[in-house]
């Protein structure tokens, strides 16, 4: 008897619980947050200026930093922290332009020689001066084989101290973006005495920083928190440093959103604009967006179905980018015609903008004529023998992108299917040819550290390591070489625009959306940059109180 | 005396007893409807379940979309209806595979005894000791993700459970006089097992297998939720839960709740029917 009663009781309980949940669900959906008018998020390089300093700020990162030895590895978490601690020869500004910093000047003296003049008043956190010898030592460390930043020095054949405060870099060929690259981690100047004293431990928890920036590395409790503190003896007395201390913690994006909503964190540069959607209705949180070079793209692989560029062009014509921007990012991202964000337009902006507007082949939403054109391309090329396979990791953005691509393929008579790859394995697409053999396309958010489109379009050269689909155009290769040699901005912009046109035409990667940099911060704070400059610019120094 | 016992048994376990069990009939009726829905889903679904409509993202329930839409503007009712097929066929196939394998192992072990029984018992013990989900993930890691691999992997994981159960009831069945009688007549072991022993064990097995069907449905839904089973744009219910979960933080519970409740309802109904059948059939046997 007892046995026969148990399932009955359990069933009624389950039905009652289900009904309760269903009612809750109906109520929630009935509220329909999606139909609430979207709040306009201000877009610009910075947030409004702060009116005063703040003591301690709790900041969320997407992950715990792995190391602060940037020659080993670096990502968004490490850069967000050490943008405030370390300085570089050149400096990225909130509007993503670069200016000389620890180098007073950087000049091309001829086609293959750049001279950096090092300023004499800068000091490291231990009080020792930043010298030309320290700069040379740092550059040689970054350029060493296997160092994470060594690609920035690919064209460098020699570096030497040619004066008391002068470093001369010799390049095999003119490299127009080399000076800009020195605003990234490749131009970071380290204190050799600190680095050598720490040996292999350098960059690990418990070791001091070897930098000269407005903040010093404080306590790092692995797995818990990391603190940076205002440097008392910062060499640039004219630089106002507003936040006294920033305590970093880390969590996945949903936990970051919860921490911001609950007021347990004061801010975070969000991993994805999509994370800002639930924060739009939180009164205590301000949101801002700014330019970045980030763009979501679909990278074609060597698997075979997309070997014919007409099939890639057809897919690009049929892809509903505006729909993806709406579904995956709540309209906080923009449909993109190019595989790189407009934040890369660091010079000749008007020319780039005009060229962007004129681009065809990657519509925001496919029109009837786009679909007709796409079908004609498919008819000319012939459909691939096997279905096109797009990789997803089941994450929200990739799920939307991959489903939209399948829909685009079907709309023009192509077969496509989705293969789910574990998130932890997804990054291996760049390095694992066997994994790329499982999918014709994989989606990713791509960005470059330099605000120069040439720095991106080199990826279309026939020898580029990420040109997986084998796009091979000798004229394109020649244009890349010419663009790298063009130190005149107008000339380089012209070449970059031609590269951009050819890229969009050949579509080795399909552009999807541009993702602006998105920051969420307490309404009591303001002043920080909202652009992607936070990865290299000391944003905490500008972060202060919003109330007088 | 005999008549009285038979009447009592009929009253307790037969048609009369089940008539007094409305939950059993409600569950059976519900499952019958679910099966009919699976059979006729393409005819009754109002929309193409994979049709994306970016103009109707996260739409609340309405006349046009009675259950609302998901992140891609796909009609949840249509996805739920079409998803019934994959969500039911998967557990059915895995159960068929696991039953064939498990019953064969269980009968062979019980029939032969000795070292074969010991060997098969140790193999099934090892399988028991190995966490089921870990085993399934291991199989998927070797053969690749997808609904077919998930079904095979779960079938392999369930086979030892069925083998153990089969062996226990087969031992008592084989001890019955009719088995010896057939042996004396020279009927072969395979024929006795296939024609007489298995059919006699079927009632006891049936209820157990029905309960396992519910577990299989949940197992496959779990694998799809984890990305190992059904692949997008499939509307398998576990995958629907996974795809809908991003809406929770935005207040859109429908895309998760609708398939979640469907899984719960079917599993509860299957369990009720399975347990009732086990009781009745077990008692009758």
B268 touches chain A (CB under 8 A): yes
- Of the candidates A257, A393, A403, which has its C-beta nearest B72's C-beta? A403
pLDDT at res. A17? 36
How many interchain CB pairs under 8 A, A with B?
Answer: 111
Task: Please give the Cα distance from A542 to A545 (Å, whole number).
Answer: 10
Do B27 and A11 count as a contact with CB atoms less than 8 A apart?
yes
Using a CB-CB cut-off of 8 Å, the residues of chain A touching B58 are: 32, 34
Do B252 and A28 count as a contact with CB atoms less than 8 A apart?
yes
For B142, list phi and psi in degrees, rounded to 5: -80, -45
Residue B27 falls inside a structural domain: no
The region, left, alpha or beta by phi > 0 then psi within -120 to 50, assigned to residue A154 is alpha
- Provide CB contacts within 8 A for A296, sequence distance 6+: A324, A333, A336, A397, A401, A443, A444, A445, A446, A512, A513, A514, A515
Q: At what angle do helices B114-129 and B147-174 cross, to 10 degrees?
A: 140
- pTM comes to 0.79
> Does the structure show a pLDDT above 90 at B271?
yes
B28 touches chain A (CB under 8 A): no
The DSSP code for B195 is: I
Do A18 and B232 count as a contact with CB atoms less than 8 A apart?
no
Residue B256 falls inside a structural domain: yes
Separation of first and last alpha carbons in chain B: 19
Task: Please give the Cα distance from A424 to A393 (Å, whole number).
Answer: 9
- Of the candidates B59, B246, B252, which has its C-beta nearest A396's C-beta? B246
Using a CB-CB cut-off of 8 Å, the residues of chain A touching B276 are: 4, 7
pLDDT at res. A33? 32
Q: Which of B104, B108, B126, B128 is nearest to B117 (CA)?
A: B108
Using a CB-CB cut-off of 8 Å, the residues of chain B touching A328 are: 71
Could you read off the pLDDT of B17-40 as tens digits, one per residue?
A: 555 789 999 999 999 999 999 999
Neighbours of A38 (CB within 10 A): 12
Neighbours of A172 (CB within 10 A): 11
Q: Which of B180, B178, B168, B176 is nearest to B205 (CA)?
A: B168
**What string of pLDDT tens digits covers the 548 residues of chain A?**
333 333 333 334 333 333 433 333 333 333 333 333 345 799 999 999 999 999 999 999 988 998 999 999 888 899 999 999 999 999 999 998 899 999 999 999 998 999 999 999 999 999 999 999 999 999 999 999 989 888 889 889 999 999 999 999 999 988 888 999 999 999 999 999 999 999 999 999 999 999 999 999 999 999 999 999 999 999 999 999 999 999 999 998 888 999 999 999 999 999 888 889 889 889 999 999 999 999 999 999 999 899 999 999 999 999 999 999 999 998 999 999 999 999 899 889 999 999 999 999 999 999 999 999 999 999 999 999 999 999 998 888 999 999 999 999 999 999 999 998 888 788 889 889 999 999 999 999 898 878 899 999 999 999 898 999 999 999 999 999 999 999 889 999 999 999 999 999 999 999 999 989 999 999 999 999 999 999 999 999 999 999 75
- Provide CB contacts within 8 A for A430, sequence distance 6+: A466
Q: Which of B60, B53, B59 is nearest to B74 (CA)?
A: B53
| Antiparallel, parallel or unpaired: β A225-230 and A54-61 | unpaired
| Antiparallel, parallel or unpaired: β A225-230 and A509-514 | unpaired
Task: Please give the Cα distance from B39 to B217 (Å, whole number).
Answer: 17
Domain range for residue B158?
A: 89-285
Do B279 and A3 count as a contact with CB atoms less than 8 A apart?
yes
Are the CB atoms for A230 and A244 separated by under 8 Å?
yes
Residue of A nearest to B245 (CA): A396
Task: Please give the Cα distance from B226 to B153 (Å, whole number).
Answer: 14
Task: Please give the Cα distance from A352 to A333 (Å, whole number).
Answer: 19
Task: Please give the Cα distance from B59 to B67 (Å, whole number).
Answer: 9
Residue B64 falls inside a structural domain: no
Residue of A nearest to B225 (CA): A394
Task: Please give the Cα distance from A327 to A34 (Å, whole number).
Answer: 11
Residue B40 falls inside a structural domain: no
Element holding B35 (H helix, E strand): helix B22-44
pLDDT at res. B43? 96
Residue of A nearest to B227 (CA): A420
- Write out the two tokens for A218: 């404080």
- Write out the two tokens for A66: 């792995």
Which of B137, B224, B257, B281 is the best mutation test for A, with the most CBs of A within 10 A?
B257
- Write out the two tokens for B42: 């393409």
Do B261 and A21 count as a contact with CB atoms less than 8 A apart?
yes
Tell me the shortest Cα–Cα distance from A394 to chain B, in angstroms.
7
Residue B31 falls inside a structural domain: no
> Does the structure show a pLDDT above 70 at B8?
no
Which of A2, A327, A387, A391 is the best mutation test for B, with the most CBs of B within 10 A?
A327
- Of the candidates B60, B264, B276, which has its C-beta nearest A30's C-beta? B60
- Provide CB contacts within 8 A for A398, sequence distance 6+: A391, A392, A443
A393 touches chain B (CB under 8 A): yes
Residue of A nearest to B250 (CA): A278
Task: Please give the Cα distance from B218 to B136 (Å, whole number).
Answer: 14
pLDDT at res. B46? 96
Q: Which of A227, A309, A239 is nearest to A55 (CA)?
A: A227
Q: Which of A245, A385, A234 is nearest to A303 (CA)?
A: A385
Secondary structure in 3-state letters for A271-335: CCHHHHHHHHHCCCEEEEEECCCCEEEEEECCCCCCCCHHHHHHHHHHCCHHHHHHHHHCCCCEE
B50 touches chain A (CB under 8 A): yes
Q: Cα A99–A101–A103 angle (5° rounding)?
A: 110
Which of B30, B52, B239, B261 is the best mutation test for A, with the most CBs of A within 10 A?
B52
* Cα within 13 Å of Cα(B158), Cβ side: 29
Residue of B nearest to A10 (CA): B268
Residue B45 falls inside a structural domain: no
Which of B30, B55, B60 is the best mutation test for A, with the most CBs of A within 10 A?
B60
Residue of B nearest to A396 (CA): B246
Which of A17, A324, A407 is the best mutation test for B, with the most CBs of B within 10 A?
A407
Do B145 and A420 count as a contact with CB atoms less than 8 A apart?
yes
Do A422 and B232 count as a contact with CB atoms less than 8 A apart?
no
A396 touches chain B (CB under 8 A): yes
Task: Please give the Cα distance from B100 to A274 (Å, whole number).
Answer: 48
Do B254 and A393 count as a contact with CB atoms less than 8 A apart?
no
For chain B, what percent of residues have pLDDT higher than 70? 92
- Write out the two tokens for A341: 């964000």
Residue B68 falls inside a structural domain: no
Cα distances (angstroms) measured from residue B43 to each of B30, B37, B46, B78, B86: 19, 9, 8, 10, 16
Do A33 and B249 count as a contact with CB atoms less than 8 A apart?
no
Number of domains chain B is built from: 1
The DSSP code for A205 is: T
Tell me the shortest Cα–Cα distance from A331 to chain B, in angstroms.
11
- Provide CB contacts within 8 A for A415, sequence distance 6+: A383, A386, A387, A388, A409
Tell me the shortest Cα–Cα distance from A403 to chain B, in angstroms.
6
Do B253 and A28 count as a contact with CB atoms less than 8 A apart?
yes
Q: What is the CATH number of the domain that holds B217?
A: 1.10.3720.10
Do B233 and A34 count as a contact with CB atoms less than 8 A apart?
no
B62 touches chain A (CB under 8 A): no
Are the CB atoms for A29 and B60 separated by under 8 Å?
yes
pLDDT at res. B3? 39
Task: Please give the Cα distance from B237 to B249 (Å, whole number).
Answer: 20
Task: Please give the Cα distance from A357 to A113 (Å, whole number).
Answer: 37
Do A399 and B243 count as a contact with CB atoms less than 8 A apart?
yes
Tell me the shortest Cα–Cα distance from B210 to chain A, in angstroms.
14
- Of the candidates A33, A323, A420, which has its C-beta nearest B251's C-beta? A33
Q: Cα A136–A138–A144 angle (5° rounding)?
A: 100
Task: Please give the Cα distance from A115 to A103 (Å, whole number).
Answer: 10
Task: Please give the Cα distance from A95 to A92 (Å, whole number).
Answer: 8
Handedness of CA B244, B245, B246, B252 (dihedral sign): positive
Chain A residues 269-288 within an 8 A CB cutoff of chain B? 277-278
Could you report the predicted ipTM of this complex, rounded to two decimals? 0.76
Chain A residues 301-330 within an 8 A CB cutoff of chain B? 320, 322-323, 326-328
B56 touches chain A (CB under 8 A): no
Chain A residues 474-513 within an 8 A CB cutoff of chain B? none
Query: Cis peptide leading into A374, omega within 30 of 0?
Result: no
Do B54 and A393 count as a contact with CB atoms less than 8 A apart?
no
Could you read off the pLDDT of B170-226 as tens digits, one per residue?
A: 998 888 999 889 988 888 888 898 888 889 888 888 888 998 999 999 999 999 998
Element holding A396 (H helix, E strand): helix A396-411
Using a CB-CB cut-off of 8 Å, the residues of chain A touching B275 are: 3-4, 7
- Write out the two tokens for B231: 């692949």
């Amino acid at each position: 008897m007892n046995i026969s009663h148990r399932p009955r009781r359990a069933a009624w309980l389950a039905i009652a619980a289900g009904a309760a949940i269903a009612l809750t669900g109906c109520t929630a959906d009935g509220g329909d947050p999606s139909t609430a008018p979207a709040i306009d998020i201000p877009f610009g390089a910075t947030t409004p200026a702060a009116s005063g300093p703040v003591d301690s700020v709790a900041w969320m990162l997407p992950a715990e930093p792995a190391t602060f030895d940037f020659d080993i590895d670096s990502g968004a978490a490490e850069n967000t922290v050490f943008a405030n601690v370390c300085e570089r020869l050149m400096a990225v500004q909130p509007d993503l332009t670069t200016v000389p910093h620890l180098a007073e000047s950087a000049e091309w003296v001829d086609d293959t020689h750049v001279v950096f003049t090092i300023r004499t008043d800068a000091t490291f956190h231990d009080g020792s001066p930043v010298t030309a010898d320290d700069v040379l030592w740092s550059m040689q460390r970054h350029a060493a084989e296997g160092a994470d930043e060594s690609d920035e020095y690919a064209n460098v054949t020699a570096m030497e101290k040619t004066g008391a405060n002068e470093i001369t870099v010799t390049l095999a060929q003119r490299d127009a973006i080399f000076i800009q690259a020195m605003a990234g981690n490749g131009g970071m100047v380290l204190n050799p005495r600190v680095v050598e004293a720490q040996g292999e431990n350098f960059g690990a928890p418990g070791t001091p920083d070897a930098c000269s920036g407005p903040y010093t590395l404080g306590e790092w409790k692995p797995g818990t928190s990391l603190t940076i503190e205002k440097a008392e003896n910062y060499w640039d007395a004219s630089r106002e440093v507003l936040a006294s201390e920033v305590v970093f913690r880390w969590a996945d994006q949903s936990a970051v959103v919860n921490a911001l909503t609950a007021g347990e964190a004061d801010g975070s540069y969000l991993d994805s604009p999509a994370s800002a959607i639930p924060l739009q209705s939180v009164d205590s949180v301000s949101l801002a967006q700014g330019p970045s070079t980030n763009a979501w793209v679909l990278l074609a692989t060597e698997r075979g179905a997309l070997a014919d560029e007409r099939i890639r062009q057809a897919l690009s014509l049929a892809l509903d980018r505006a729909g993806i921007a709406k579904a995956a990012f709540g309209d906080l991202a923009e449909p993109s015609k190019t595989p790189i964000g407009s934040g890369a337009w660091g010079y000749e902006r008007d020319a780039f903008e005009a060229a962007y507007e004129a681009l065809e082949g990657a519509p925001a939403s496919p029109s009837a004529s786009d679909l007709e054109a796409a079908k004609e391309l498919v008819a000319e090329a012939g459909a691939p023998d096997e279905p096109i396979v797009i990789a997803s990791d089941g994450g929200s953005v990739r799920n939307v992108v991959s489903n939209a691509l399948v829909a685009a393929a079907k709309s023009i008579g192509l077969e496509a299917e989705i293969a789910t790859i574990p998130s932890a394995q997804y990054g291996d697409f760049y390095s694992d040819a066997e994994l790329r053999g499982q999918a014709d396309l994989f989606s990713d958010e791509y960005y470059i550290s330099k605000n120069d489109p040439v720095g991106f379009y080199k990826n279309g050269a026939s020898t580029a390591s990420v040109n997986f689909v084998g796009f091979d155009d000798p004229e394109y290769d020649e244009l890349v070489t010419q663009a790298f040699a063009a130190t005149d901005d107008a000339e380089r912009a012209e070449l970059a625009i031609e590269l951009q046109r050819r890229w969009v035409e050949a579509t080795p990667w399909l552009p999807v959306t541009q993702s602006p940099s998105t920051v969420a911060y307490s309404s009591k704070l303001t002043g920080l940059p909202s652009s992607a400059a936070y990865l290299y610019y000391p944003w905490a120094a500008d972060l202060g109180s919003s109330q007088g | 005396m005999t008549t009285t016992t038979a009447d009592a048994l009929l009253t307790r376990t037969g048609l009369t007893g089940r008539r007094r069990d409305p939950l059993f009939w409600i569950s059976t009726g519900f499952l019958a409807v679910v099966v009919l829905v699976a059979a006729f889903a393409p005819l009754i679904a109002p929309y193409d379940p994979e049709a994306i409509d970016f103009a109707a993202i996260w739409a609340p329930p309405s006349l046009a979309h009675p259950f609302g839409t998901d992140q891609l503007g796909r009609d949840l009712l249509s996805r739920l209806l079409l998803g019934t097929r994959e969500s039911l066929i998967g557990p059915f196939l895995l159960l068929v595979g696991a039953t064939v394998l498990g019953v064969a192992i269980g009968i062979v072990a019980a029939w032969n005894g000795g070292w074969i029984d010991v060997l098969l018992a140790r193999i099934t013990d090892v399988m028991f000791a190995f966490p089921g989900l870990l085993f399934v993930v291991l199989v998927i890691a070797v053969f690749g993700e997808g609904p077919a691999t998930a079904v095979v992997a779960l079938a392999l994981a369930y086979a030892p459970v069925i083998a153990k159960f089969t062996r226990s009831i087969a031992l008592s069945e084989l001890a019955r006089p009719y088995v010896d009688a057939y042996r004396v007549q020279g009927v072969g072991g395979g024929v006795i097992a296939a024609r007489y022993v298995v059919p006699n064990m079927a009632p006891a097995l049936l209820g157990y297998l029905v309960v396992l069907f519910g577990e299989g449905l949940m197992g496959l839904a779990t694998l799809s939720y984890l990305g190992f089973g059904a692949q997008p744009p499939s509307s398998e219910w576990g995958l629907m839960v996974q795809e809908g979960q991003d809406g929770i933080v935005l207040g859109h519970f429908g895309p998760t709740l609708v398939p979640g409740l469907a899984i719960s309802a079917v599993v509860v109904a299957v369990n009720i029917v399975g347990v009732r059948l086990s009781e009745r059939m077990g008692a009758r046997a």
